[in-house]
Every structure is written in C-alpha cells, then in structure tokens.
C-alpha cells in the first residue's frame, strides 16, 4: 500500500497494491494491521454507498459531537472529491483540497481518500454515473449533521463545473439550505 501526501497534511491518498494477470487482478483493499502501521485508523463502524448520475453534487457534510473520519473509494465512475479542514486550531483551518477519484477502466489505479475527523466532505459526479463507497469511523448521528454551502464564497472551492457542459449541479434541498462557512456551527477547538 502506498500512502501519498496531499496539500492538507492529514488528508491522504491511499493506493493499494494490485496484482494482475490475463485473468484480471486482485488487491487487498483493507488490512487493519497495515492501516495501523501507516498511522491510519483500523477501526471502521459503518459502510455507506451511493449511486449518483452526472452533475450530482453532495456536500459539504460533517457531524458535530460524533465526527466521522471517512475512507472514500469510487467503485465505478469519476468524481471530484473535496475535503475542507474545519479544525479551528489547525494551521489549515478553512482550507480545502480536491481530488479526481475514478474507476472507469481496468487499468485505473485503485485509490482511496482518507479524510480524518474534523473535515467537511463533498463530491461532484463527472461521469455518466458513479458509485461511491465510504467507510466511517463513527456511526451516522443525524442530530449532529451539518452542511456548509458547496459554493460558499469564503471557501471558494474550484469545482470543475465546466465538465457539466453548462448544466447546473443537481443539489438536494438539504444541501441547498446549507450554511455559509462564516456562520457554520463548527466543532470546538481542541
């Protein structure tokens, strides 16, 4: 497994080793010991999977009281995945990073995105459809769920909207009602 740094030091790209031949390939995608040895969590309590069509934008989501670290993987398709640092004491507070995650062709690298607790998460579907699977370090906590507007002017995230060929992103009513970053109910400083 390769662990790659990103512009947000605690957010990591994980590339499992793939072993293939003319019959196909095999990969060990999660091993608790390997994750622990790499300084990543090895304990996940919930798996979530979504299917979305092109132009769907989900996020920016996070939870208070019971924050979730997320291990994100695209099973099929192509997304632009975003993590935003919400940790008030962090030198990267309010900074975001975006990543192209895809699994469209057999030779696409296997990639996971590790987003620790204390970050907001969202993604935009760039392919005709996409299936996204993510493991979480804590259970879903509806009372603590919060949303920051995907197009917040302070965060100024560079979503690749040009890939939608002039169509606006498809956003849920809940996400449309998200708050501005400057008014968001954020986790307390540690």
Which residues carry out catalysis? 61, 134
For residue 60, say if its preceding peptide bond is cis, omega within 30 degrees of 0: yes
Residue 16, exposed/middle/buried by CB under 10 A (0-12, 13-18, 19+)? middle
Give dist(CA 99, CA 73) in Å, integer: 12
Which DSSP letter does residue 144 get? Answer: G
| Cross-strand partners of 130 | 52
Give dist(CA 40, CA 23) in Å, integer: 32
Give dist(CA 62, CA 25) in Å, integer: 35
- Sequence-distant (6+) residues with CB within 8 A of 138 are 45, 46, 63, 66, 67, 68, 69, 117
CB 130 within 8 A of CB 79: yes
What is the torsional sign of CA 135, 27, 103, 155?
positive
């Amino acid at each position: 497994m390769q662990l790659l740094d990103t512009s947000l030091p605690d957010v990591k790209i994980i590339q499992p080793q793939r072993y293939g031949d003319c019959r196909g390939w095999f990969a060990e995608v999660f091993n608790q010991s390997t994750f622990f040895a790499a300084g990543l969590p090895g304990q996940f309590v919930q798996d979530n999977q979504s299917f979305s069509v092109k132009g769907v934008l989900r996020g920016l989501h996070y939870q208070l009281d019971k924050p979730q670290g997320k291990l994100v993987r695209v099973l099929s398709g192509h997304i632009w995945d975003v993590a935003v640092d919400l940790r008030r004491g962090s030198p990267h507070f309010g900074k975001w990073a975006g990543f192209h995650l895809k699994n469209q062709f057999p030779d696409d690298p296997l990639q996971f995105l590790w987003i620790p607790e204390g970050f907001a998460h969202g993604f935009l579907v760039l392919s005709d459809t996409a299936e996204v699977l993510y493991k979480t370090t804590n259970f879903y906590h509806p009372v603590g769920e919060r949303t920051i507007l995907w197009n917040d002017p302070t965060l100024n995230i560079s979503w690749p909207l040009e890939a939608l060929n002039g169509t606006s992103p498809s956003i849920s009513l809940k996400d449309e009602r998200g708050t501005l970053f400057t008014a968001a109910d954020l986790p307390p400083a540690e």
